[in-house]
Structure 1
Amino acid sequence: MAMSAGPAEDGSPMSDINTTPLVDVMLVLLIIFLITVPVVIQTVPVNLPKVVFEPTTTKPENVALSVRATGGKCEVYWGQTLVSPQELLDRAVVKLRAEIDKQGGPTAPGLELPEAHIRGDVNTPYRCIGGAIFTMQRAGFARVGFISEPPAGFVSQRL
């Protein structure tokens, strides 16, 4: 790449733009991007669901739990009743066994297990909600979901 310094040979002022520094900067940026882009793009391929949110289907056999913290103490409600962690486990085991027996036992074809739906207050620490999840999983509930409130003015659409 050539560079001229000074006026043109015929005495007129030089009107050419010196692009050498611009080309140098662009080549350096190109090399930087070529090196960094593969590092940023390396991810584990995962097939994510294509839904905004999934409306819940309320079934009578599902368990509705509400979790909140008051005064640093976790409170779990089964429906409208405040339960201790041991009561939660006992009730969940009884509920699951009753539902399995109602459908014909654990080997019945087409067995549909109930789900646990947890409503967690926005100010509740995760340890409270995590404890409720852990207790329900210990009881045998395979599906534990969260109930949330969509933002105001939100319109749901299925993809």
Structure 2
Amino acid sequence: MAMSGGSDDGEPMMEMNTTPLIDVMLVLLIMFIITIPIQTHAVKVDLPQPSDQPQNTVEPDKNKVIISPEGAITWNGQPINEVQLRQYLDQTVRMNPQPELHFQPDPQARYNRVDEVLAIIKRANVTKMGFVGNEQYRNDF
């Protein structure tokens, strides 16, 4: 069966040819996509400004590391992360005499988190360290 433009009797085809309309529509669609402006999203963030006074967060006689039940680390009452903890520990190791490090994990803190912090302390070669706050649990066992 061959395709013919009309019937066998020579009458003209009454259907509309939609191929040129589809071609025009695709060209217009591509032009529309090209002319759309690029969206730029800006997020304004207020960054902390450096202060003129250096903050000395490492005490010369003793420092306290606390692990909360959620696993957050605090150094002398200020929340810190693992990198800052290592920096503070390196500062204390260089001090002469080396200050004491008081380590107080919360009893509800995950053991895995406490172990990670103890590993950071061990890698920093801290020699004066003690567990504080454990005396309140001596009658529990």
Q: Give the TM-score of the pair, scaled to structure 2.
A: 0.49
Task: Give the TM-score, by structure 1 length.
Answer: 0.44
Question: Greater relative contact order: 1 or 2 (C-alpha under 8 angstroms, separation 6 or more)?
Answer: 1
Q: Which structure has the greater CA radius of gyration?
A: 2
